[in-house]
């Protein structure tokens, strides 16, 4: 049983580091987007689309990583619940108009 605690701690640290990196990339994307909105310096549509994808999926990735970091140190039932919630969140992203309906609600 001691090995599971050590593994959980190691995985938690790995997910924490990955989460910090993703959060940094997301902040950079938001800063670049805000600066580009005022002073257009990115004229390449592909780069703008990549920034938009990062801004759209970045928070979902960070939320998922934080949830996984929480789950790896918990028992199996909590892990299954967390993984199921992440799966539902990802699956609903593929339904048409999900994002538009979420924005309309806010």
Confidence of residue 3 (pLDDT cuts 50, 70, 90): low
The CA-based dihedral angle spanning residues 71, 74, 76, 79, taken in that order and rounded to the nearest 10 degrees: -10
The 10s digit of each residue's pLDDT in 64-103 is 999 999 999 888 999 999 999 999 888 888 877 776 777 7
Measured between alpha carbons, how far is 14 from 18 in angstroms, rounded to an integer?
A: 6
pLDDT of residue 86: 94
> Which tens digits make up the pLDDT trace of 24-79?
999 999 999 999 989 988 888 899 999 988 998 899 999 999 999 999 988 899 99
């Amino acid at each position: 049983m001691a090995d599971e605690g050590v593994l959980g701690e190691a995985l938690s640290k790995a997910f924490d580091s990955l989460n910090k990196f993703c959060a940094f990339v997301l902040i950079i994307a938001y800063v670049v987007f805000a600066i580009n909105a005022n002073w257009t310096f990115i004229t390449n549509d592909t780069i703008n689309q990549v920034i938009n994808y990062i801004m759209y999926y970045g928070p979902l990735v960070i939320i998922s990583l934080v949830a996984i970091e929480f789950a790896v140190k918990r028992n199996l039932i909590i892990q299954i619940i967390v993984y199921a919630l992440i799966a539902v969140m990802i699956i609903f992203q593929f339904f048409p108009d999900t994002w538009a309906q979420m924005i309309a609600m806010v």
